[in-house]
Amino acid sequence: MMQRFNLSELAVKHKAVTLYFILLSILVGTVSFINLGRAEDPNFTIKVMVVSANWPGATAEQMQNQVADPIEKKLQQVEYFDFVETTARPGEVTMLVTFKEYTPPEAVEDQFYQVRKRMLDLKGALPQGVQGPFVNDDFADVYFTLYSLTQGDLNYADWLQTAEKTRDALLRVNGVQKVNLLGEQTQQIQITFNAAKMKALGVTQQQLLQNLNAYQSIAPSGFVETIGPRVYLRQTAARDSLEEIRQVPIAVNGQVMHLSDFATVSRGFKKPSHFKIRNQGQEALLLGVVMKKGHNGLDLSDRLSTFTQNWQPNLPKGVTLEKVTNQGDAIALAVNAFQLKFLMAVLVVLAVSFLALGWRAGIVVALAIPLTLALTFFLMQITGKNLDRITLGALILALGLLVDDAIIAIEMMLVKMEEGLERTKAAAYAWTVTASPMLFGTLVTVVGFVPIGFAASNVGEYAGNIFWILAFALLLSWLVAVTFTPYLGFKLLPNVETQNVHDSGAPDNRLTRFLSTWVHRCVRYRKTVVGVTLGIFLVSTFGMAKLVEKQFFPSSDRPELMVDIYLPEGSSQQVTDDLSHQIENYVRQQPEVKTLSSYIGQGAPRFFLALNPELPNPAFAKLIIVTSDAEARNRLKARLQDYIAAGHFDAARVRVHALLYGPPVVWPVTFRVMGDDLNVLRDVGEQVRQKMTENEHIYDPHLEWGEKSPDIELSYDLDRLALLGVTPLNLSQQLQQALRGQTEAELRENTRRILLTSFTQFSSGDALKQLQSLPIETQNGSKVPLQQLADLNVVFNNPVLKRRNRTPYININAEVEGAQPPDVTMAIWKDMANLRESLPDGVRLEIGGSVEQSGKAQASIQTLMPVMVLLMVTLVMLNMQSFLGTFMVLVTAPLGLIGAVAALLLFSQPFGFVATLGLIGLAGILMRNTLILVGQINDNQKQNMAPKEALIDATLRRARPVLLTALAAILAFIPLTTNTFWGPLAYVLIGGIGVGTLLTLLFLPALYALWFRIPQSNQSG
As a three-state string, the secondary structure of 643-668 is: HHHCCCCCCCEEEEEECECCCCCCCC
3-state SS assignment for residue 944: coil
- Cα separation, 1018 vs 1011, in Å, equals 17
> With bands split at pLDDT 50, 70 and 90, how would you rate the model's confidence at 902?
very high
Residue 83 reports pLDDT greater than 50: yes
Query: Does the pLDDT at position 747 exceed 80?
Result: no
pLDDT given at position 119 = 93
> Please, which pLDDT band fits residue 901 given cuts at 50, 70 and 90?
very high
Instruction: Give me the domains of the chain, ranges plus CATH numbers.
Output: 1-33+358-494 (1.20.1640.10), 47-141 (3.30.70.1430), 195-261 (3.30.2090.10), 511-554+849-1020 (1.20.1640.10), 556-660 (3.30.70.1430), 709-797 (3.30.2090.10)
Extended strands (E) in 426-559: none
| CA-wise closest residue to 741 among 244, 192, 242, 268 | 192
> Is the preceding peptide bond at 799 cis, omega within 30 degrees of 0?
no
Report the mean per-residue pLDDT for the chain. 85
**How far is 698 from 828, CA to CA, in rounded Å?**
10
* Residue 611: strand, helix, or coil: coil
| Structure confidence at residue 4 as a pLDDT band (50, 70, 90) | low
pTM of the model: 0.84
d(CA 774, CA 735): 8
| Residues 82/100, Cβ–Cβ less than 8 Å | yes
Distance of alpha carbon 8 from its chain centroid, rounded? Answer: 45
**Is the pLDDT reported for residue 338 higher than 60?**
yes
Give the pLDDT confidence score for residue 503 in this predicted structure: 43
Residue 461: per-residue pLDDT: 84
Predicted local distance difference test score (pLDDT) of residue 502: 45
Q: What is the pLDDT of residue 1021?
A: 40
Please give the average per-residue pLDDT across 55-71, as a whole number. 93
Q: Collapsing DSSP states into helix, strand and coil, what is residue 49? A: strand
Weakest-pLDDT range from 516-525, 744-753, 923-932 = 744-753
**Percent of the chain at pLDDT exceeding 70:** 96
What is the mean pLDDT of the segment spanning 626-635? 90
Q: How far is CA 467 from the centre of its chain?
A: 19
Instruction: Tell me what pLDDT residue 270 has.
Output: 82
Strand, helix or coil at 197?
helix
Cβ-based neighbour number of residue 308 at 10 Å: 16
> For residue 341, which of 376, 321, 369 has the smallest C-alpha distance?
369
Residue 665 CA to residue 554 CA, distance in Å, equals 11
Least confident stretch, 234-243, 580-589, 942-951, 1004-1013? 234-243
CA gap 165, 314 in Å, rounded = 10
pLDDT band at 671 (very low <50, low <70, confident <90, very high): very high
Question: DSSP E strands: which ranges in 631-722?
Answer: 653-658, 669-674, 698-703, 709-716
Confidence of residue 608 (pLDDT cuts 50, 70, 90): confident
* pLDDT over 70 (residue 281): yes
Q: How far is CA 502 from CA 56, 475, 508, 509, 952, in A?
A: 92, 34, 6, 9, 11
pLDDT interval class at 1018 (50, 70, 90): low
